[in-house]
Amino acid sequence: MIPELGHFALILALCLASLQAVFPMVGAHSGNTLWMQLCRPLSAGVWVFMLLAFGCLAYSFLHDDFSVAYVARNSNTLLPVYYKFAAVWGAHEGSLLLWVLILATWGYAVSILSRDLPLDILARVMSVMALITVGFLIFMLGTSNPFERMLLNTPAEGADLNPLLQDFGLTVHPPMLYMGYVGFSVAFSFAIAALLTGRLDAAWARWTRPWTNAAWTFLTVGIALGSWWAYYELGWGGWWFWDPVENVSFMPWLVGTALIHSLAVTEKRGVFKSWTVLLAIAAFSLSLLGAFIVRSGVITSVHAFAVDPERGMVLLTLLLLIIGGSLFLYALRAPVVKGTATYGGYSRELFLLFNNIILVVSTATILLGTLFPLIHEAIYGEANKVSVGPPYFNTLFVPLMAVMAFFLGVSTFSRWKRTSLQHLWQNLGKLLTASVVLGIVIPLLVTAHFNPSAMLAMALALWIALGVVADIWQKTANKASRVDGLRSLSLSYYGMQLAHLGVAVLILGVCLTSHYSIEEDRRLAPNESLTIGDYEFVFKGVEERRGPNYIADSATIDVLKDGEFYLTMHPEKRRYLARGDVQTEADIQVGFFRDLFTALGDPRGEGAWVVRIHVKPFVFWIWLGAFLMAAGGITAILDRRYRTKRVRDEAAVPAVGLKTALE
């Protein structure tokens, strides 16, 4: 009964979304206020029914209703309750349901939070979002219904959730990532509305900015969680593999970052308008491309689940309709929203343009690397397969990011319209010298090795971080006190600086981990030990241990630091009972300046095992940096000027009255 209720709720949501896609849009064109106003209750309705459908699927999971095919494939009575709930989005059908629920949530959020928005724009935005919802709901009901039943041959026991997904990081990772992917649909819908009306002004940019920031923040957290999961759950000790599916989540992030900066220029200076619109379209299109690549299995990757050509074709059609349609509209209407203002040399606009170009070029190189195997196969036939490995991406991406990090430091000190070189040099000369000198000296003192790339990374990170500090120092200089100065700065300014600080921390984390990690795969017999730096790892042997739904070979490794006992680590090799899958469970001792990483390989006879032991300096900083960026995103959203526009207008009236009274 409950699964049918969920199925029915999905159909109702589709009906309401269809109405929402048509009536507000038609109303906006014909000036029918009533039809336009329909968008608010309709989006609430879509949201409620999507929530109901989601609740029904969750209910089926929690009650082990294995007559639902999706539940039977992805759950098990032995599965801990928490993972039963997370299993709702553990495979294709359920994660698609989550995707549409999140889309409906964003739509509903826009409808209730955008009170300032002119009704005709809101109606168009909501219609575009509903159109996307309709597309995905048809796809879901047609090819991947999560409520499909197996009433005749109901299995007594489910096949269990993929053990790789039985982990906290990965239960939170997909919802966060989807919030980001789908969140870009808001910026996309605003862009389409702007193209339709031809109105693209500072107010439009101001409405779009917080939504874009929000989506970007979620995507940042989602990607960081994914990379964190890969680090401790896959058991390889790496945190980024340039896997196609990582790439497709990274591309919308890069374009989203470009969009955030381009929106800032559009709001403040009224330029880059059509460019901003194009970026908004690109960010969401790349998100959809990500969904397509993950779902269709056109590219083999660790994530490519649910390989089904029919689904792939439907998704591809949907993708082409949305991307093709929006680009067609852009081609027709982009001249209408062209910017008129000008800007001179060395202005902040110019540096932000550099930033945008670098981000877009990076995205293009990643796109090329990701799709190249497909292109190659299409040209040379199926028998000639190639793959593009991490060296390709590193060779292109790392220098691009180095250039961008340099310009990031410059642009903070540049001014809108025009900045004199003299002004820039006055501010940046000392900073540049300090970061170059410290960047060379610090690694040399700490490691006693001359490592140019680590030094460059250090110098760039210092360049950004010192720039942030110096800029805040300068901006608070003319106030009565420093505290007053700090108070007078806006939250969006703090958000920007926090995110930029995050970039510096991330650069340090990435580069220092890559250059100074020590990684050993060693065969160790019981009581044999391995020394890395200050740490000695003593392998004590392996014992069997039983978990709730698995049996584990659990190793005991005593770690000595400078000859004294430091801690004991227990990396495991688990065999999950339901599927018989084997899963490496690394044991990581996380530290601010270094992580100790141990993972168990395979047995090599006489109690000896191959053990993977890494000492990874600064790896924590990678996620710290991502966290700072996300925190910056949230801080910027909280800025009052996104919310108090109406209040300010009202406040202006008594002020005028007072003025006339004084006269």
Partner 1 sequence: MHSARKQKLYIVLSIVLGAAVAVGLLVVAFNEGLNVFFTPTEITEGKVQPNQNIRIGGMVKEGSLVREGLEGTRIEFVTTDYNADIPVVYEGVLPDLFREGQGVVAEGFVDENGVFQARQIMAKHDENYMSAEVKAALEAAEKRKAAGGISQ
**Is 516 in a helix, a strand, or coil?**
helix
The CA-based angle 44-323-350, given to 5 degrees, is: 100
**Between 390 and 526, whose beta carbon lies closer to partner 1?**
390
Contact 7, 55 (CB under 8 A): no
Work out how close the CB of 379 gets to partner 1 at its nearest, in angstroms, rounded to a whole number: 14
389 sits near partner 1 (criterion: CB under 8 A): yes
392 sits near partner 1 (criterion: CB under 8 A): yes
Please give the size of the binding site for partner 1, defined by CB under 8 A. Answer: 45
**Between 109 and 610, whose beta carbon lies closer to partner 1?**
610
Q: Pick the closest to residue 539 from 558, 553, 523, 512 (CA basis).
A: 558
**Between 428 and 611, whose beta carbon lies closer to partner 1?**
611
278 sits near partner 1 (criterion: CB under 8 A): no
Q: Which of residues 56-75 bind partner 1 (CB under 8 A)?
A: none
**Contacts (Cβ under 8 Å, ≥6 apart) of 412:** 467, 468, 471, 500
601 sits near partner 1 (criterion: CB under 8 A): yes
Work out how close the CB of 42 gets to partner 1 at its nearest, in angstroms, rounded to a whole number: 40
Q: Pick the closest to residue 248 from 311, 208, 296, 190 (CA basis).
A: 296
The one segment of 23-31, 331-339, 381-389, 643-651 that binds partner 1 by CB under 8 A: 381-389
- The whole-angstrom distance between residue 14's C-alpha and the CA centroid of its chain comes to 28
Q: Which helix (H) or strand (E) holds 339?
A: none
Q: Which of residues 127-186 bind partner 1 (CB under 8 A)?
A: 162, 164
605 sits near partner 1 (criterion: CB under 8 A): yes
How far is residue 167's CA from residue 576's CA, in Å, rounded to a whole number?
Answer: 13
307 sits near partner 1 (criterion: CB under 8 A): yes
Q: Which helix (H) or strand (E) holds 370?
A: helix 348-380
Residue of the chain from 155, 325, 344, 399 that contacts partner 1 (CB under 8 A): 399
Token couple for 271? 């330029």
Contact 353, 416 (CB under 8 A): no
Neighbours of 108 (CB within 10 A): 22
Neighbours of 567 (CB within 10 A): 12
Work out how close the CB of 230 gets to partner 1 at its nearest, in angstroms, rounded to a whole number: 12
Work out how close the CB of 332 gets to partner 1 at its nearest, in angstroms, rounded to a whole number: 29
Beta bridge partner(s), residue 419: none
The one segment of 68-76, 295-303, 425-433, 469-477 that binds partner 1 by CB under 8 A: 295-303
Residue of the chain from 112, 202, 302, 313 that contacts partner 1 (CB under 8 A): 302
Residue that the structure tokens 């917080």 belong to: 210
**Between 209 and 574, whose beta carbon lies closer to partner 1?**
574
Contact 104, 16 (CB under 8 A): no
Contact 304, 245 (CB under 8 A): yes
How far is residue 134's CA from residue 54's CA, in Å, rounded to a whole number?
Answer: 17
Work out how close the CB of 344 gets to partner 1 at its nearest, in angstroms, rounded to a whole number: 11
523 sits near partner 1 (criterion: CB under 8 A): yes
**Between 142 and 344, whose beta carbon lies closer to partner 1?**
344
Work out how close the CB of 585 gets to partner 1 at its nearest, in angstroms, rounded to a whole number: 10
Token couple for 439? 């960047």
How far is residue 506's CA from residue 464's CA, in Å, rounded to a whole number?
Answer: 11
Residue of the chain from 11, 386, 437, 658 that contacts partner 1 (CB under 8 A): 386
582 sits near partner 1 (criterion: CB under 8 A): yes
Residue of the chain from 34, 81, 340, 391 that contacts partner 1 (CB under 8 A): 391
434 sits near partner 1 (criterion: CB under 8 A): no
427 sits near partner 1 (criterion: CB under 8 A): no
518 sits near partner 1 (criterion: CB under 8 A): no
Give the CB-side neighbour count of residue 403, counting CA atoms within 13 A.
14
379 sits near partner 1 (criterion: CB under 8 A): no
251 sits near partner 1 (criterion: CB under 8 A): no
Q: Which helix (H) or strand (E) holds 616?
A: strand 609-617
The one segment of 15-23, 37-45, 473-481, 516-524 that binds partner 1 by CB under 8 A: 516-524
How far is residue 146's CA from residue 91's CA, in Å, rounded to a whole number?
Answer: 10
How far is residue 357's CA from residue 195's CA, in Å, rounded to a whole number?
Answer: 23
Site string for partner 1, 212-241 (x = CB under 8 A): -----------------------x------
374 sits near partner 1 (criterion: CB under 8 A): no
The one segment of 23-31, 57-65, 312-320, 380-388 that binds partner 1 by CB under 8 A: 380-388
**Between 116 and 581, whose beta carbon lies closer to partner 1?**
581
Work out how close the CB of 317 gets to partner 1 at its nearest, in angstroms, rounded to a whole number: 22
Length of the chain: 663
- The whole-angstrom distance between residue 660's C-alpha and the CA centroid of its chain comes to 53
Residue of the chain from 208, 247, 296, 584 that contacts partner 1 (CB under 8 A): 584
Q: What is the DSSP letter of 610?
A: E
DSSP per-residue string spanning 254-309? HHHHHHHHHHHHHHHHS-SHHHHHHHHHHHHHHHHHHHHHHHH-SS--TT-----H
548 sits near partner 1 (criterion: CB under 8 A): no
Beta bridge partner(s), residue 85: none
**Contacts (Cβ under 8 Å, ≥6 apart) of 374:** 298, 299
244 sits near partner 1 (criterion: CB under 8 A): no
Strand ranges, E, within 499-589 = 518-524, 529-532, 535-546, 550-561, 564-569, 572-576, 582-585, 587-589
Contact 621, 508 (CB under 8 A): yes
**Between 305 and 493, whose beta carbon lies closer to partner 1?**
305
Work out how close the CB of 228 gets to partner 1 at its nearest, in angstroms, rounded to a whole number: 18
Residue of the chain from 6, 24, 180, 369 that contacts partner 1 (CB under 8 A): 369
Q: Pick the closest to residue 95 from 279, 4, 253, 222 (CA basis).
A: 222
Contact 502, 626 (CB under 8 A): yes
In the chain the first and final C-alpha atoms are separated, in Å, by 75
579 sits near partner 1 (criterion: CB under 8 A): yes
384 sits near partner 1 (criterion: CB under 8 A): yes
The one segment of 14-22, 500-508, 545-553, 595-603 that binds partner 1 by CB under 8 A: 595-603
Contact 259, 276 (CB under 8 A): yes
The one segment of 13-21, 63-71, 506-514, 578-586 that binds partner 1 by CB under 8 A: 578-586
**Between 174 and 235, whose beta carbon lies closer to partner 1?**
235
Residue of the chain from 119, 540, 581, 589 that contacts partner 1 (CB under 8 A): 581
Contact 185, 103 (CB under 8 A): yes
Residue of the chain from 271, 599, 628, 637 that contacts partner 1 (CB under 8 A): 599
365 sits near partner 1 (criterion: CB under 8 A): yes
383 sits near partner 1 (criterion: CB under 8 A): yes
The one segment of 2-10, 149-157, 310-318, 575-583 that binds partner 1 by CB under 8 A: 575-583
505 sits near partner 1 (criterion: CB under 8 A): no
- The site for partner 1 (CB under 8 A) is made up of 162, 164, 235, 297, 300, 302, 305, 307, 361, 365, 369, 372, 382-393, 395-396, 399, 521-523, 573, 579-584, 599, 601-605, 610, 612
